[in-house]
Chains A and B, each alone.
Chain A
Amino acid sequence: MTTSTGTAPSPRALARQRRRASVARFWRQYRSERAGLYGLTALSLCALLALFAPVFVGSDVSSVTEAPGRPMQSPSAEFPLGTDQFGRDLLGLVIWGSRVSLLVGLLAAVLSVAIGTLIGVTAGHFKGWYATVMMRITDWFLVMPTLVLAIALATVMSRSLTTTVVAIGVTTWPTTARLVRAQTLAVETRPYIERAQALGGGHWHIMSRHVLPNVMPLVLAQTTLIISSAILAEATLAFLGLGDPTVVSWGGLLQDAREAGAVSAGDWWYLVPPGIAIAVVALAFTLCGRAVESVLNPRLGVSR
């Protein structure tokens, strides 16, 4: 379906034209996935909100010393979502928190997918003991309780966003590795790979120019799905107190709420917005990922 993503050593213009055609075809099919469109819309809104957060709320929104309101005010005209235990505006905090949650989710997913793709492509290309060892490691990671491993990693490392990204990234790559390896094996049986080899193409050439472009669509779908779980994982780590305490994130807000006694006081308005924000973004990424998947894999498309 997407074999024409500019792999053929034809004039550059031809390649570009083909790529444009395949993107257009992809978009045409994606548009027929209603759930995917909802997801995409929700995501675009969230991304815009996160990008332009400094316009809506000042960067001093998380300042404890210059809080505008009294502590723990319930929602009012002045503070639509109420205030936290320091008197900070919760609406501003939730908007500001989207930056960290989205950024960490995105970076962790990119790291995870990069590791998975690297291992998947190399394990599919080089057969023999290297592939065996790599797939053993992958299988082992696959059955490991990922979050427990991430928590253990975050515990022994210092509290920072980098820690969170690394802890999530290095524990969630195995599914990608398996999928990419299977696709690599399938691609490498095609005749044009043999032709490239016959013309003297080396390992690097084959992997980067022939295999990689063919697994990219799969990688794209996988990234979208993993961002969703990475955002949930980030919230979880922050909630357990393993995130960076100096930044505002949705999971961190929930931890603050719990520590401030919002649960026993019945202050539902403190807890609801950050949780909904996490759920909406995670759901939106899941919907997009599933839509991309079913466009790329027509057999799954039936099961939509």
Chain B
Amino acid sequence: MTADATPALVEDKQRPAAGPRARKSSAYPRYLAGKVAGAAVSLLAVLVTSFFLFRLIPGDPVKTMTGGRQVSAEQLAAYRDEFGLDLPLWRQFTDYCGKALTGDFGTSYQFRAPVVDKITEALPNTLLLTGTAFVLYTALGIFLGTRSAWRHGKLGDRVNTGLALTLYSIPSFWLGLLLIIVLSVGIGPLPGMFPTGGMESGGEEGFAYVLDVAHHLVLPVVTLVAVEYGQTLLVTRSALLDEMGSDYLTTARAKGLRDDLVRRRHAVPNALLPTVTLIFINLGRTVAGVILVETVFSWPGLGGLFYQALSVPDLPLVQGLFFVFAAAVILMNTLADLVYPLLDPRVAR
């Protein structure tokens, strides 16, 4: 019996490995070119949107920006000149695109500094927060989603799904505020254990600095993970449930494989593909979560910057950040598209 099963197993393992290598010569470059072109079109569309969103909406952007404040006529003229508002619209647009392509998004109205500088300053902080949270919530979501699906209908599954749905319905900023009250400010006999906001206490160096940043990172990351893992859990769970009835799982069990081997080696890898797609499509939601969490925890990243820009409103900065957020999501999705064929040779066909 074992002798009969072995060839099937070997063949099973070889097929996915041989797939992409054999097809790479023909289908993959075309697939790649298509995806990259699609991303380029999307980026261009974002550029166009970011331009027209802030020009064509009723009123003068300078008036929106300076709204209510005392501004002299010279200052108004200077802003009009800076935005090139006196030029015809198509000239404004070509100027904007030309500048944007060289990374120039104008000057921030409130910080009096180039928008690009503000963005590059804040970017690493956001990447640290988002990256940590993304890895954690994806891992947690896939892990719990797998367990849930494998024992679907049981108590553990119901608790898991219920908790995920509840956390998914909670506004991230509210959870953040509550965590600050309970764990940072302290409530009743409970002392404050975590900093209320920011990224560092200052004055720390070397390893102590790393620990300090990690200490500041805990609450924002917990908030993000809590509100985001539910989606991954539900997606993984339903993807795995789709695979559960498949014949190849019955075969694997009939071969005498242990239950957890059937799950880990056979069911999960197949269920992971739709999951990965959806995880990346849902990145947009994570971006929104980051904006709110950074605002609540005064994290010095892009999201916090976005909030500061909104309240003025500092249109060049809002515009630049809008482009960065949208571009980031599009780029991550394209990256995911490029990796799929390596995971699943059927995709590039």
A interface, CB within 8 angstroms of B? 35, 136, 140, 142-149, 151-153, 155-157, 228, 232, 235-236, 239-242, 251, 254, 257-258, 263-268, 271-272, 274-275, 278-279, 282-283, 286-287, 300, 302-303
Contacts and interface: CB of A to CB of B under 8 A. Distances in A.
Nearest to A235: B171
Interface in B166-200: 166, 168-171, 173-175, 177-178, 180-182, 185-187, 196
B284 A275 contact: no
Given A156-B53, A239-B173, A303-B238, A148 B288 contact: yes
Contacts of A240: 292, 295, 307, 310
B64 A156 contact: yes
5 closest cross-chain pairs (CB), A and B: A147-B288, A275-B174, A145-B284, A282-B169, A283-B169
B36 interface: no
Contacts of A300: 238
Contacts of A278: 169-171, 174
Given A147-B291, A148-B291, A239 B322 contact: no
Contacts of A286: 165, 168-169
B108 to A, nearest CB: 15
B299 to A, nearest CB: 15
Q: Would you call the interface of chain B mostly helix, strand, loop, or mixed?
A: helix
A254 B173 CA distance: 9
B180 A239 contact: no
A90 B322 CA distance: 36
Nearest to B158: A35
A271 B177 contact: yes
B42 interface: yes
A283 B180 CA distance: 23
Given A156-B53, A279-B170, A303 B313 contact: no
Contacts, number: 142
A151 B46 CA distance: 15
B288 A145 contact: yes
A279 B171 contact: yes
A82 to B, nearest CB: 14
Contact of A287 (B165, B173, B186, B285): B165
Interface in B228-243: 237-238, 241-242
Contacts of B187: 266, 268
Contact of A140 (B42, B171, B318, B325): B42
A153 B175 CA distance: 26
Interface residues of B, number: 58
Given A143-B333, A147-B291, A263 B326 contact: no
A271 B173 CA distance: 11
Contact of A152 (B178, B237, B287, B322): B322
From B46, B170, B242, residue with most partner A Cβ within 10 Å = B170
A271 B182 CA distance: 12
B284 A143 contact: yes
B54 A145 contact: no
Given A148-B291, A152-B322, 7 more contacts: A147-B288, A156-B57, A235-B171, A236-B171, A254-B174, A264-B185, A268-B187
B281 interface: yes
Contacts of A275: 170-171, 174-175, 177-178
Nearest to B326: A144
A303 B242 CA distance: 8
A301 to B, nearest CB: 11
B152 interface: yes
Contact of A241 (B162, B186, B311): B311
Contact of A263 (B175, B180, B283, B307): B180
B53 A146 contact: no
Nearest to B181: A268
A267 B182 CA distance: 10
B329 interface: yes
B194 to A, nearest CB: 13
Interface in B303-323: 306-307, 310-311, 313, 315, 318, 322
A77 to B, nearest CB: 21
A303 B241 contact: yes
Contacts of A236: 171, 173, 288, 292
A145 B311 contact: no
A266 B181 contact: yes
A143 B331 CA distance: 10
B101 to A, nearest CB: 19
A147 B238 CA distance: 26
Nearest to B238: A303
B217 interface: no
A175 to B, nearest CB: 10
B330 interface: yes
B45 interface: yes
Contacts of B287: 145, 147-148
Contacts of B41: 136
